[in-house]
């Protein structure tokens, strides 16, 4: 990771109360992950130990230790989407995704009356059936 | 020129509202993006002079403009789904543009804050207490008592924290408020600040809600002068269900792992950065402006039953024909909600189970559908109202699999601080697998040394396994630090109790 960019991100949040999460979000967004270098830089800037920063990074599902360049399709597998049949279309989507697409399980996108639901980037997709879900995975 | 109103709520957008709005614009119409009425089976819903058309797509535009669309539902305001509701928190739903200060003020916005500012903090607290408002996030703790504790707590700084980490499957009311009526939430927080002496507030939103985050940030900027000197900031979670628990949320806001804190001390006394802190859910804070308006507390207290006062925005979700947001006074039954209002299942099959209160809530059997929606009545029935989510399942649901999922979800989301939740959840998955498969499972094939004290994993009789499950549930319920581990036994036990046939023989 480029030191200059890292320093800019960290500086942008300097002086904020509880700055660690906002900083980590920005690093994750800029680099697609938060690696050991970034952890060390953040730890130094916030006067924390590397272990403390690593403990936070590894706690949250959103933060990744390494960049995964594959496209992501987040498919909700929580109760409301299960009630609307997501499990019966998930297997075909997994096969379609294979190694190329990262088909991730998420637990609730807040669209529980119109499931099954998925998210690609900031775009939400509702009322999925097998055909539309496969299409989503294919075009990811 | 025809003027069209289409929701820009995430549900409407996920169902194609953006494309529909673009189609109307290309047909020469002006389009306003408004909040959602909450009739989600009709989204995207087109509103032309109060007449509704839905669910609409770009292909319907010509017919709608020609006045010959079969998708007309008549006057939206007269729709039975809306007519049956008592909308206080969602009074503006479908009627206003979320980012318009003009629309907000024209519909009574800021009147609660103006009145609150003519009162002393203690008087505001007294109003909230008199209304009977209880925390809508799940625990149901009286809001007035919490505020009073913060008001009277000594501290250089005090904070208002809005819990917008709505992670329960089957719930979306917080999201709808943040996207559809953000000023109402901001007004509620400003009133809470005045009532307790807090100078700063945080809205902790889950990262799964990007639309809500963007709109809140804009709404905060637009209303900064109105709520000053109170200042507000949005903080984004990072994908952790447990951060919906108030002490985990505070740790996360402080930039720590979202681990649960042991109570005491109460957050009201030692909360964010060790300062007295009000932590309330979105729906709780959004109910406050109405309560603080002239006579609002009294009107609020007259609604509901027993100690469950006011209205509850109930979220009809899952396999239900008329899914959406239904705000009503406490006391309504599941029969009314699921059958009369919800129209039964989308699949047309019989209802098998309803989970109330999110992933940690009990599965209720149709035999229990006369239970009134009331905090205490649900507690007596070993169930929870939680955040008001009602998720319907038809007869194809496998309740053994749902019980297994409850443990699995707890294992994925456990913060790890307490043993019953961290280890019990994983043991629960293994146990249910063994019970459902009638003995050993693939996981048991792992080579184990005979001298290990827990080597005997299988070969228990079914009654022995069931007793072990009961023991595990007991340990998790009473030994866990927070509701994640403590309430996971609710879905598990209720599923086993009502549908033992789904657990194998």
Q: How does pLDDT run across B309-332, given as a tens digit for each residue?
A: 999 999 999 999 999 999 999 999
% of chain B residues with pLDDT over 70: 96
Check pLDDT > 70 for residue B348: yes
Q: Residue B439: what pLDDT?
A: 73
Name which residue leads in pLDDT, B260 or B442.
Answer: B260
Task: Classify the phi-psi angles of B108: left when phi > 0, otherwise alpha if psi is within -120 to 50, otherwise beta.
Answer: left
The pLDDT value recorded for residue B470 is: 97
Q: Chain B residues with CB inside 8 Å of A76's CB?
A: 169
Residue B73 in this model has a pLDDT that exceeds 80: yes
> Structure pTM?
0.96
Quote the mean pLDDT of chain B: 95
Q: How many helices (H) and strands (E) does chain A have?
A: 7, 4
Report the percent of chain A where pLDDT is more than 90.
94
Average pLDDT over residues B95-100: 98
> Of A59, A112, A122, which is closest to B258 when you measure between CB atoms?
A59
The alpha helices in B318-365, defined as continuous H runs, are 334
Residue B354 clears pLDDT 80, i.e. is over it: yes
Q: Dihedral sign, CA of B290, B294, B295, B297?
A: positive
Across the interface, of B10, B208, B235, the residue whose CB is closest to A108 is: B208
Which residues does A contribute to its contact with B (CB < 8 Å)? 17-22, 24-25, 46, 55-56, 59-63, 76, 78-84, 106-115, 117, 119, 122, 124-127
Residue B308's φ and ψ, nearest 5 degrees, are -100, 95
Query: Which whole number is the average pLDDT over B261-269?
Result: 95
Q: Which of A56, A62, A78, A80 to mutate to test the interface with B (most CBs of B within 10 A)?
A: A80
**pLDDT tens track for A58-101:** 999 999 999 999 999 999 999 999 999 999 999 999 999 999 99
Say how far apart CA B495 and CA B32 lie, in whole Å: 46
Task: Reply yes or no on whether the pLDDT at B455 is more than 80.
Answer: no
User: Which two tokens mark A75?
Assistant: 């498919």
pLDDT the model gives residue B454:
54
B298 min Cα distance to partner chain A (Å) = 33
B54 to chain A, any CB pair closer than 8 A? The answer is no
Q: Which residues of A touch B405 (CB under 8 A)?
A: 79, 82
Residue labelled with tokens 């010509």: B62
Mutation to test the A interface, candidates B9, B14, B57, B177, most A Cβ within 10 Å: B14
**Interchain contact, A84 vs B391, CB within 8 Å:** no
Q: Give ipTM to 2 decimals.
A: 0.96
Per-residue pLDDT, B1: 84
User: What is the average pLDDT across B412-435?
Assistant: 95
- Residue A15's pLDDT is what? 86
Q: Which two tokens stand for residue B310?
A: 């006011």
Q: What pLDDT band is residue B456 in, cutting at 50, 70 and 90?
A: low
Nearest CA distance, A26 vs chain B (angstrom): 11
Tell me if A18 and B166 make a contact (CB, 8 A cut-off): no
- Distance between CA atoms of B268 and B245, rounded to whole angstroms? 14
pLDDT band for position B24 (cuts 50, 70, 90):
very high
Q: Residue B393 is nearest to which of A55, A83, A110, comparing CB atoms?
A: A83
Cα distance from B325 to chain A (closest Cα, Å)?
A: 9
For residue A20, which residues of chain B lie inside 8 Å, CB to CB?
255-256
* Spatial CA neighbour of B65 closest among B31, B24, B95: B24
> Does B254 touch chain A if contact means CB atoms closer than 8 Å?
yes
Q: Which of A26, A65, A79, A109 to substitute to test the interface with B, most B CBs within 10 Å? A: A79
- Candidate from A46, A55, A115 with C-beta closest to B257: A55
Strand spans (E) along B79-230: 159-164, 200-205
Query: CA nearest B394 in A: which residue?
Result: A83
- What's the gap in Å between the CA of A98 and the closest CA on chain B? 23
- B235, B239, B316 ranked by CB distance to A113: nearest: B316
**CA–CA distances in Å: residue B115 to residues B121, B193, B195, B293, B451:** 12, 14, 12, 6, 72
Distance from CA of A88 to the nearest CA of B (A): 11
**Mean pLDDT for chain A overall:** 96
Q: Chain A residue with minimal CA distance to B416?
A: A59
Across B111-119, average pLDDT: 98
Q: Which residue has the tokens 């029969």?
A: B335
Is the pLDDT at B453 greater than 70? The verdict is no
Q: A68 phi and psi, to 5 degrees?
A: -115, 110
**Tokens matching residue B105:** 């003020």
Which chain B residue shows the shortest CA-CA distance from A85? B319
Stretch A34-55: mean pLDDT, rounded? 96
Element (H, E) at B291: helix B282-292
Q: Stretch B163-181: mean pLDDT, rounded? A: 98
CA distance A99 to B433: 28
The alpha-carbon gap from A81 to the nearest alpha carbon of chain B, in Å, equals 6
CA–CA separation, B172 and B440 (whole Å): 40
Average pLDDT in the B394-400 region?
A: 98
Q: How many Å lie between the alpha carbon of B282 and the closest alpha carbon of chain A?
A: 14
Quick one: which H or E segment has residue B310?
none
Which of these, A140, A24, A132, A26, lies nearest to A73 by C-alpha position? A140
pLDDT at B150: 98
| Nearest CB partner across the interface for B315, out of A112, A114, A117 | A112
Contact B172 A82 (CB under 8 A): no
Q: Give B128-165 pLDDT, tens digit per residue.
A: 999 999 999 888 999 999 999 999 999 999 999 999 99
* Predicted pLDDT at B209: 96
Chain B: give the shortest CA distance to residue A92, in Å. 20
* pLDDT for B458: 58
Question: Are A22 and B256 an interchain contact pair (Cβ–Cβ within 8 Å)?
Answer: no
Which pLDDT belongs to residue B443?
A: 61
pLDDT for residue B446: 54
């Amino acid at each position: 990771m480029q030191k200059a960019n890292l320093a800019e991100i960290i500086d942008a949040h300097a002086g904020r109360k509880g700055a660690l999460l906002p900083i980590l979000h920005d690093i994750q967004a800029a680099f697609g992950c938060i690696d050991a270098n970034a952890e060390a830089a953040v730890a130094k800037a916030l006067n924390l130990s590397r272990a403390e920063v690593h403990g936070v990074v590894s706690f949250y599902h959103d933060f990744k230790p390494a960049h995964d360049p594959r496209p992501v399709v987040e498919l909700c597998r929580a109760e409301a989407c299960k009630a609307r049949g997501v499990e019966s279309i998930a297997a075909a989507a997994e096969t379609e995704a294979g190694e190329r697409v990262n088909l991730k399980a998420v637990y609730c996108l807040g669209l529980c009356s119109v499931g099954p639901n998925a998210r690609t980037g900031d775009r939400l997709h509702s009322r999925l059936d097998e055909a539309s879900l496969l299409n989503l995975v294919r075009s990811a | 020129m025809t003027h069209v109103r289409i929701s820009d709520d995430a549900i409407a957008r996920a169902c194609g509202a953006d494309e529909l709005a673009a189609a109307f614009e290309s047909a020469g119409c002006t389009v306003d993006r408004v909040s959602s009425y909450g009739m989600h089976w009709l989204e995207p819903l087109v509103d032309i002079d109060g007449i509704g058309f839905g669910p609409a797509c770009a292909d319907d535009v010509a017919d709608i403009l020609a006045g010959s669309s079969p998708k007309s539902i008549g006057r939206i305001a007269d729709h039975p789904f809306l007519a049956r509701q008592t909308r206080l928190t969602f009074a503006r739903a479908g009627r206003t543009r979320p980012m318009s200060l003009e629309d907000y003020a024209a519909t009574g916005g800021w009147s609660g804050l103006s009145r609150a500012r003519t009162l002393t903090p203690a008087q505001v607290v007294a109003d909230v207490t008199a209304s009977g408002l209880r925390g809508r996030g799940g625990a149901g703790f009286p809001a007035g008592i919490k505020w009073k504790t913060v008001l009277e707590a000594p501290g250089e700084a005090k904070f208002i924290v809005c819990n917008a980490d709505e992670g329960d499957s089957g719930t979306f009311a917080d999201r709808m408020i943040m996207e559809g009526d953000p000023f109402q939430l901001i007004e509620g927080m400003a009133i809470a600040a005045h009532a307790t002496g807090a100078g700063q507030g945080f809205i902790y939103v889950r990262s799964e809600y990007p639309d809500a985050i963007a709109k809140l940030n804009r709404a905060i900027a637009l209303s900064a002068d109105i709520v000053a000197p109170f200042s507000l900031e949005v903080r984004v979670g990072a994908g952790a269900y447990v951060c919906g628990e108030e002490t985990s949320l505070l740790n996360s806001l402080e930039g720590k792992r979202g681990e649960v804190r042991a109570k005491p001390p109460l957050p009201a006394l030692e909360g964010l950065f060790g300062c007295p802190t009000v932590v309330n859910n979105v729906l709780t804070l959004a109910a406050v402006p109405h309560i603080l308006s002239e006579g609002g507390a009294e009107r609020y207290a007259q609604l509901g039953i027993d100690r469950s006062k006011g209205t509850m925005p109930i979220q009809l979700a899952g396999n239900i024909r008329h899914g959406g947001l239904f705000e009503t006074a406490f006391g309504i039954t599941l029969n009314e909600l699921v059958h009369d209002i919800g129209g039964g299942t989308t699949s047309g099959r019989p209802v098998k189970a309803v989970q109330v209160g999110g992933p940690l809530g009990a599965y209720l059997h149709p035999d229990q559908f006369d239970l009134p929606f009331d905090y205490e009545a649900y507690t007596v029935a070993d169930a929870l109202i939680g955040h008001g989510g009602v998720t319907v399942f038809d007869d194809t649901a496998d309740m053994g699999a749902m019980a297994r999922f409850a443990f699995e979800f707890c294992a994925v989301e456990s913060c790890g601080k307490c043993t019953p939740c961290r280890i019990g959840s994983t043991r629960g998955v293994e146990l249910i697998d063994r019970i459902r498969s009638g003995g050993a499972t693939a996981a048991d094939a792992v080579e184990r040394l005979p001298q290990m004290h827990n080597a005997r994993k299988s070969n228990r009789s079914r009654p022995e396994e069931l007793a072990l499950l009961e023991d595990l549930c007991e340990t998790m319920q009473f030994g866990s630090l927070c509701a994640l581990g403590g309430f996971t036994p609710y879905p598990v036990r209720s599923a086993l109790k009502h549908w033992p046939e789904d657990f194998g023989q």
